[in-house]
Amino acid sequence: MNKIVLAALVGGLSPCLAHAQSSVALYGDIGGGVRWVNHQQGGSALGFNNNILAVNRFGIYGKEDLGNGLAAIFKLESGFNSGTGALKNAGALFSQAAFVGLSGDFGRLTFGRQVSASEYFATLVDPIGGQGQSLAIEPNALYFIDYFTNDTRFNNTISYIGHAGGLRFGASYSPGGVAGNLRAGTNVSATAMYQWGPALGGFGYQKTWNAAATQWAQTFHAGGSLQLGPARLYMNYADFSVSAATQDAPTRRDHIPSMGVMVIPTPALQFTAAAYYDSARHLANAKDGSGHKIATYVMAEYYLSKRTELYAEVDYNGFSGAYRTDALNIGALGMRSGASSTTGVSLGLMTRF
Amino acid sequence: MKRSTRISCIAAVAMLTALGNCASAQSTAATATPSSATRANTAASDAKADTKADTKAARTANRKLAHRVENALARTRGLNSARIIVTARNGRITLSGAVNYNEQIALAVEAAREVDGVTDVENRIRVTGASL
């Protein structure tokens, strides 16, 4: 009797089980080579190229169909240094992504460590997809990431991305979890973009509070891309400001126009070039901290197969005024304080799996 | 300061130009009907693009077909086609550029195949970019 009941139960459940299709995929990329860079503290340096073009990573992406177009999704992605094998961010096994969520006709709702809504848009209108590993070729990292923790992903983030026709829109919120303070350590972000034929245009906004809720950083971003034959042109404008922690200090303000182009002349070749201009006032909230910065790069990628490539890259960063002594830049680029420029050249091999 | 203002102006003009292009692209594609594009395609392949007029017609038809494919991709659920590059040649579509998730490649190829006037789809899409 029990057996029959069991059989009936199994029989009743099995169509449901067969319906729930799930998949888990392992993916990643790894690269390395050599990099030469000048005007560092102590002179020029020839070193290992920890794949400057893209984060070395491996990840697991999973999806389970729940029926009616609804699916449960998750992503775990680890970033690492190909030269040392060390984690990209000390202490964070899944520094690049760790989220779970639902996707369906309503859009996508995810919970965990991930990009903010503004970063989501910024990576889509970045000529190299927001994966550059150095501030030398990804100067936009400075104003799209968490300014206070220098983290490219936001922890404890609830993100929604919707899709209707050619319109895509999203919002994300990272609560700080600080008792008695609704601002401390939070990030609020929103984006909307529209794609029509070869053109994409949109905007992003985000505001981040530091852990003590004494300072905020805010970014307004408008940008887009346009396909012309085998090329895609990119244009962006960002307005970035950081409030001062003390009352009499001024708010930092940057105006950052940028342009880029990516061309695929033949299936095996890809060229990318970009230039970012940053006009900053009150760097580090100093009264006389005005300066300019220009960041440019050119790269060529030669594909041996769909997954494996050889690449060469040259980048140049120039500084004037207070930017020559800006601690944040000097730290990120390893530059000699007061240097008016730094040039880098990288050669490498990268494979994706 | 002066220099920064000038550069901001250049950026603003460039943005406006881009928007202008966008608007004009919109009006051309709005007049495109599947039948006219298909006709132009057939004509182009028949005449082997001998005359200049034929070449121009073929080029227009190619552009219109690429437009329709781009719109189809932009509207495909689960696909983010912002970094895909679409080129068309006599009904043959080539998809290059990149997507962020591997599973999106199949979605893009499928969506392109279903567009009226598409005879073949060549897939050269790579998986690159940040985890979104």
Bridge-based pairing of strands B120-123 and A22-40 is: unpaired
Does residue A169 carry a pLDDT above 50?
yes
Rounded to whole angstroms, the Cα distance separating B112 from A336 reads 51
Which of B21, B68, B83, B105 to mutate to test binding with chain A, by most A CBs within 10 Å of its CB? B83
- Does A27 contact B87 at a Cβ distance shorter than 8 Å? no
Does residue A13 carry a pLDDT above 80?
no
Q: Spell out the SS3 assignment of chain A.
A: CHHHHHHHHHHHHHHHHHHCCEEEEEEEEEEEEEEEEEEECCEEEEEEECCCCCCEEEEEEEEEEEECCEEEEEEEEEEECCCCCCECCCCCCCCCEEEEEEEECCEEEEEEEECCHHHHHHHHCCCCCCCCCCCCCCCCHHHHCECCCCECCEEEEEEEEEEECCEEEEEEEECCCCCCCCCCCCEEEEEEEEEECCEEEEEEEEEEECCCCCCEEEEEEEEEEEEECCEEEEEEEEEEEECCCCCCCCCEEEEEEEEEEEECCCCCEEEEEEEEEEEEECHHHCCCCCEEEEEEEEEEEEECCCCEEEEEEEEEEEEEEHHHHCHHHHHHHCECCCCCEEEEEEEEEEEEC
| Neighbouring residues of A51: CB distance < 8 A, sequence distance ≥ 6 | A29, A30, A31, A32, A33, A82, A133, A348, A350
Confidence of residue A111 (pLDDT cuts 50, 70, 90): very high
pLDDT, tens digit, for every residue of B71-112? Answer: 999 999 989 999 999 999 999 999 999 998 888 999 999 999
Does residue A116 carry a pLDDT above 60?
yes
- Does B15 contact A222 at a Cβ distance shorter than 8 Å? yes
Instruction: Give, in order, the Cα–Cα distances in Å from A161 to each of A101, A220, A246, A304, B70.
Output: 11, 19, 36, 35, 20
Question: With an 8 Å Cβ cutoff, is B48 touching chain A?
Answer: no
Lowest-pLDDT choice from A139-148, A227-236, B45-54:
B45-54
**Min Cα–Cα distance to chain B from A303, Å:** 11
Question: With an 8 Å Cβ cutoff, is B49 touching chain A?
Answer: no
Per the model's pLDDT, the better-predicted residue between B44 and A102 turns out to be A102
Cα angle, residue A131 at apex, residues A177 and A220 outer, rounded to 5°: 60
Does residue A11 carry a pLDDT above 60?
no
pLDDT, tens digit, for every residue of A288-302? Answer: 899 999 999 999 999
Contacts of A292 in chain B (CB under 8 A): 3-4
- Give the nearest partner residue to A227 out of B85, B129, B132, using CB atoms: B85
Does residue A177 carry a pLDDT above 90?
yes
Q: What is the reported pLDDT for A257?
A: 98
Does residue B40 carry a pLDDT above 80?
no
Question: Count of CB contacts below 8 A, A vs B?
Answer: 138
- Does A123 contact B132 at a Cβ distance shorter than 8 Å? yes
Rounded to whole angstroms, the Cα distance separating A328 from A324 reads 10
Per the model's pLDDT, the better-predicted residue between B127 and A317 turns out to be A317
CB contact burial A224-240 (16+ within 10 A = b; e otherwise) = bbbbeebebbbbbbbeb
Q: What is the reported pLDDT for B52?
A: 76
Percent of chain B whose predicted confidence (pLDDT) is above 70 = 61
Does residue A327 carry a pLDDT above 60?
yes
Does residue A7 carry a pLDDT above 60?
no
Please give the average per-residue pLDDT across A205-232, as a whole number: 96
Question: With an 8 Å Cβ cutoff, is B88 touching chain A?
Answer: no
Window 232-251 of A, Cβ < 8 Å to B: 232-233, 235, 237
Cα angle, residue A201 at apex, residues A110 and B65 outer, rounded to 5°: 105
- Does B82 contact A120 at a Cβ distance shorter than 8 Å? no
Q: Bridge-partner residues for A72, per DSSP? A: A64, A102
Residue B98 host element (H or E):
strand B92-99
Confidence of residue A12 (pLDDT cuts 50, 70, 90): very low
**Min Cα–Cα distance to chain B from A215, Å:** 26
Rounded to whole angstroms, the Cα distance separating A274 from A298 reads 7
Q: Where are the domains of chain A?
A: 23-352
**Min Cα–Cα distance to chain A from B33, Å:** 15
> What class is the B32-127 domain?
alpha beta
Q: What is the reported pLDDT for A293?
A: 97
Does residue B7 carry a pLDDT above 50?
no
Does residue A215 carry a pLDDT above 50?
yes
Confidence of residue B34 (pLDDT cuts 50, 70, 90): very low
Does residue A1 carry a pLDDT above 60?
no
Percent of chain A whose predicted confidence (pLDDT) is above 70 = 94
**Min Cα–Cα distance to chain B from A331, Å:** 24
Closest-CA residue in chain B for A109? Answer: B132
Does residue A227 carry a pLDDT above 90?
yes
Does residue A6 carry a pLDDT above 60?
no
> Which residue's structure tokens are 């984060």?
A55
- Give the nearest partner residue to A196 out of B8, B18, B26, using CB atoms: B26
pLDDT, tens digit, for every residue of A39-83? Answer: 999 999 999 999 999 999 999 999 999 999 999 999 999 999 999
- Does A123 contact B103 at a Cβ distance shorter than 8 Å? no
**Min Cα–Cα distance to chain A from B17, Å:** 11
Does residue B56 carry a pLDDT above 70?
yes
Q: What is the reported pLDDT for A9?
A: 47
Contacts of B78 in chain A (CB under 8 A): 103
Q: Where are the domains of chain B?
A: 32-127
CATH topology of domain A23-352: Porin (2.40.160)
Q: What is the reported pLDDT for B101?
A: 87
User: Mean pLDDT over all residues of chain A?
Assistant: 93
Rounded to whole angstroms, the Cα distance separating A247 from A242 reads 13
ipTM above 0.90, yes or no: no
Question: With an 8 Å Cβ cutoff, is B47 touching chain A?
Answer: no
